[in-house]
Structure 1
Amino acid sequence: MFIRAYLRASTEEQDAGRARASLEQFATDHNKVIASVYLENASGASVDRPELLRLLKDARKGDVLLVESIDRLSRLPVEDWQKLKAAIDSKGLRIVALDLPTSHQGMQDTKGDEFTGRMLGAINSMLVEMMAAIARKDYEQRRERQAQGIEKAKAAGKYQGRPINSDLHRRVVELLGAGLGIRATARHANCSTTTVLRIRDLTSQ
């Protein structure tokens, strides 16, 4: 069994590796070792996540995709989630989330009773779908509240926008200037491709 841990944070300011110790302890508790870690700072609502795509490319049938929670894996709209889920299923990956006990059976080397295994698998699949839907709903609600807060702040003349990380901005400009592509720049600057594109567009204005 090859366990691939996926860790994600939404912004460059957040620590994508925050949950690594928890994932490693979980694997240890199941007498397993995490063989590969994929870590990135990117929105769960984006399909453009280089490390997740690399994980899918590396994966083999029977591997475990270990995450802290389903929302670390996806906050995608339903169409994009179904495509991602289909890609995961086509690779034969087993999703295991720390906060989803029904998924923990995926850490077992043997299936045991076939009927029980199939029942638990069906229940787990349903719960994964439900949690993915909840994660998306939470994302949409937070975005809506954020937009409302910004409009309120603008009306009061208090909105200043998000502060610019000058060091990151300079690093991205240097990498792009050196001829690196968007994904390579994001990887070397330790930020999302969305951030690279935003900085590139601001620079070209």
Structure 2
Amino acid sequence: MAVIFYARVSTAEQTIEHQRQQAEAAGFKIDRIVADHGVSGITTSLADRPEGRRLFDILRSGDTLVVRWVDRLGRNYADVCDTIRQFMRQGVVIRTVINGLTFDGATRDPMQQAVRDALIAFMAATAQANAEAMKEAQRGGIALARSTEGEIKYRGRKPSFSKEQFSIACDMLDLSAGIGEIVSATGLSRQTIYRIRDDRAAAAGALMRWQG
């Protein structure tokens, strides 16, 4: 029975190594890493990614699939739900680094199944909602840039967090994680986490302005 870690990065500033280190720090003993680089979780389903599709052939009953969070599998509600359920039907256990959640098809109790499926649906919906919020902030940043084209652009203070750190913080905030937990997972200060929590749109807009 193998422990396979799947990682996905969509931008140059994100790294597979960082995700692997997080998993190992959380106590996972990884036998194999499968990773996709520069692939969007919004527009490309897991089965359509160069490396992601290999998981469906590699994973066997009794294996464990580890991901940083469900958004690494995708940011589309239906696709993430279908993917997790397909792996569970194959006898694969899915575990997340953030929050240490476990999904498997072992239980036959209908109430436990209902709770498990509801949690999967909630996490998948959160992944898509976060992606849509980021896209909205990006559209706002693009509109602002166009409206001030030809002028001296004031971008404000450069964010002290990367897109990956912002994504992790948002995911954990949506799961009601404590500020201390988020600090440990992201390496950001408490003050930065509070700023992201209190005005997520502004934080996303600042990232967009500086990346542009």
Shift of 1:132: 1.1
Give 1:86 deviation, angstroms. Answer: 4.1
8 Å CA contact 1:56–1:91 kept in 2: the answer is no
Query: Does the Cα contact within 8 Å between 1:102 and 1:123 map onto a contact in 2?
Result: no
Question: Are positions 1:127 and 2:108 aligned together?
Answer: no
Distance across 2 between alignment mates of 1:22 and 1:153: 36
The answer to whether structure 1 residue 142 and structure 2 residue 142 are counterparts is no
Q: Is the 8 A contact 2:84 2:94 kept in 1?
A: no
Change over 3 Å in CA distance of 1:151–1:44 after alignment to 2: same
Q: State TM-score, norm by structure 2.
A: 0.59
Q: Which amino acid in structure 1 is aligned with residue 40 of structure 2?
A: S
Structure 2 gaps, min length 5: 152-212
For the structure 1 residues 120 and 35, does the alpha-carbon distance in structure 2 shift closer, same or farther, using more than 3 Å as the test?
farther
Partner of 1:153: 145
Say if 2:73 is the partner of 1:73: yes
2:40 alignment partner in structure 1? 43
Select the structure with the greater relative contact order (CA < 8 A; seq sep ≥ 6).
1
- Partners of 1:122 and 1:89 in 2: how far apart? 14
Aligned position for 1:85: 84
Count of residues in Structure 1 that have an aligned counterpart in Structure 2: 146
How many angstroms apart in 1 are the aligned matches of 2:150 and 2:11?
23
- Specify the alignment match of 1:187 in structure 2: none
The 2-side partners of 1:52 and 1:158 are apart by 43
Query: Structure 2 vs 1, CA of residues 123 and 82 (structure 1 numbering), >3 Å: closer, same or farther?
Result: closer
Letter paired with 2:98? D
Q: Give the Cα separation in 2 of the matches to 1:122 and 1:27.
A: 28
The TM-score normalised by the length of structure 1 is 0.61
Structure 1 unmatched ranges of 5 or more: 160-205
In the alignment, residue 61 of structure 1 is paired with which amino acid? S
Quote the offset at 1:20 in angstroms.
0.6
Shift in Å at residue 53 of structure 1? 1.1
Q: Which has the larger radius of gyration?
A: 1
